[in-house]
Amino acid sequence: MVPYISDVLFNEPQGHPNSLIQFGLSLTFLCIFVYGSSVGDAGEFLWVLFLIVGSALFGIAESLPENRRQAAGVLRFAGILVLLILLLSGFLRLEFLIGG
């Protein structure tokens, strides 16, 4: 299983269509955060920042040239780590991360 994870993380970047989807998703999350902070308390929407950063890291990783496989793998791993911290903050009761 470990070689499979390494192959997925450090394969060549997929290119333009996938990076546009990831950047569009990040922009959507940013619009949600801006709307939430303009209408109500921004502290309730701090968890959206993790989604913005995670999807932006994936978008940057997919937009790199094909010969930058290692850099893309590091950015993908960082994106997974950011989203995993968001997921674990719900279970570990880290209210300062998710605002509660």
pLDDT, one tens digit per residue, over 58-69 is 999 888 888 888
Question: Could you tell me if 25 and 55 are in contact, meaning their C-beta atoms sit under 8 angstroms apart?
Answer: yes
Residue 28, pLDDT above cutoff 90:
yes
What is the reported pLDDT for 54?
A: 93
Query: What are the structure tokens assigned to 54, written together?
Result: 């995670």
Model pTM score: 0.80
Residue 56 has pLDDT above 90, yes or no: yes
Phi, psi (5° rounding) for residue 2? Answer: -65, -45
60 in Cβ contact with 25 (< 8 Å): no
Residue 90 pLDDT level (bands cut at 50, 70, 90): confident
SS3 assignment, position 3: helix
In the chain, what are the domain boundaries? 2-98
Label residue 97 by pLDDT band (50, 70, 90): low
Contact of 62 with 19, CB cutoff 8 Å: yes
Q: Cα 52 to chain center, whole Å?
A: 6
Asked if pLDDT for residue 12 goes beyond 80, the answer is no
